[in-house]
A and B are shown apart, each in its own frame.
Chain A
Amino acid sequence: MDAGQLLASTIDGLIIGLVYGVAAMGLTLIFGVMNVINLAHGAIIMLGMFGVYLLFQTVGLNPYLAIILVAVAGLVAGLIMYVMAVHRVINAPPLSSLLSTFAVNMMIIGLATTAFSTTPRNVNYSLGTLEAGPVVITNSRFAASAAVILVTAGLYLFLYRTRPGKQIRAVANNRQAAELMGIPSTRVLAFSFGLGTMLAAVAGGLIATLFSFTVLSGSTYEVKSFVIVVLGGLGNPLGALIGGIILGVMEGIIPVFISVTWVTVIEFLLFVLILVVRPQGLLGARH
Chain B
Amino acid sequence: MGRRLWHPGLYLALAVVLALGLAPGVTGGQGLRESMFTILMSVGLASSLNILVGYTGYVSFGHIVFFGLGGYVGFYTMTQLGWPLPLAALVGGVAAGILAFILGRILLRLRGAYFALATLGILEAMRAFVTNFSPFGGSIGLSLNFSAYRAYGGANEALWLTYWILVGLVVLTVVVSYLVRKSKFGLGLMAIREDEHAAEIMGVRASRAKTWALVLSAVIPGVIGVLFFFKNGSIEPSDAFRLNQSIELLVMVMLGGQGTVLGPVLGAFGYQRLRGYLLTSAIFSDIQLTIAGVLLLLIVLFIPAGAVGWLRRRIPRLKTVLE
Contacts and interface: CB of A to CB of B under 8 A. Distances in A.
A241 B301 CA distance: 33
Contacts of B286: 113-114
A106 B132 contact: no
A96 B106 contact: no
A261 B288 contact: no
A94 B112 CA distance: 7
Given A103-B294, A104-B297, A227 B121 contact: yes
Contacts of B301: 85, 88-89, 100
Contact of B128 (A37, A234, A265): A265
A93 B194 CA distance: 10
Given A37-B113, A37-B117, A110-B287, A96 B292 contact: no
B247 A102 contact: yes
B44 interface: no
Interface in A98-132: 98-100, 102-111, 113-114
B290 interface: yes
A107 B247 contact: no
Contacts of A109: 289
Interface string B277-303: 000000000111111111011001100
A272 B125 contact: yes
B131 A261 contact: yes
A37 B118 CA distance: 13
Contacts of B131: 261, 264
A76 B231 CA distance: 48
Contacts of A261: 128, 131-132, 139
A9 to B, nearest CB: 20
A95 B291 CA distance: 20
A107 B294 contact: yes
Contacts of B110: 275-276, 279
A265 B106 CA distance: 18
Given A31-B113, A272-B122, A276-B106, A99 B293 contact: no
Contacts of A268: 121-122, 124-125, 128
A279 B109 CA distance: 11
Contacts of A279: 110, 114
Contacts of A31: 113
Contacts of B292: 106, 110
Interface in B32-69: 53, 57, 59
A259 interface: yes
B304 interface: yes
Contacts of B125: 264-265, 268-269, 271-272
A35 B116 CA distance: 13
A262 interface: yes
B83 interface: no
A96 B118 contact: no
B204 interface: no
Contacts of B121: 226-227, 230, 268-269, 271-272, 275
Contacts of A105: 293
A265 B129 contact: yes
Q: How large is the interface on B (under 10, 10 to 19, 20 to 34, 35 or more residues)?
A: 35 or more
Interface residues of A, number: 45
A234 B290 contact: no
Contacts of A94: 59, 112-113, 116
A231 to B, nearest CB: 11
Interface in B212-250: 243, 247, 250
B59 A264 contact: no
Contact of A106 (B129, B254, B290): B290
Contact of B290 (A102, A110, A262): A110
A282 to B, nearest CB: 15
Nearest to A106: B293
B245 to A, nearest CB: 13
Nearest to B295: A103
Nearest to A37: B113
Given A100-B297, A234-B113, A223 B287 contact: no
**Which of the listed residues B121, B132, B243, B297 has the most CB atoms from chain A within 10 Å of its own CB?**
B121
Interface string A243-287: 000000000000000010110110111011001100100000000
Nearest to B255: A99
Contacts of B106: 272, 276
27 contacts: A35-B113, A37-B116, A89-B300, A94-B59, A94-B116, A96-B304, A98-B116, A99-B300, A100-B297, A103-B294, A104-B297, A107-B297, A110-B287, A110-B288, A110-B290, A111-B287, A111-B290, A114-B290, A261-B128, A261-B139, A264-B128, A265-B129, A271-B121, A275-B107, A275-B114, A276-B106, A279-B110
Nearest 3 CB-CB pairings of A with B: A106-B293, A110-B290, A110-B289
Interface of A: 31, 35, 37, 84-85, 88-89, 92-96, 98-100, 102-111, 113-114, 223, 226-227, 230, 234, 259, 261-262, 264-265, 267-269, 271-272, 275-276, 279
Given A104-B293, A264-B124, A276-B106, 7 more contacts: A84-B297, A89-B300, A93-B57, A94-B113, A98-B116, A110-B293, A265-B129
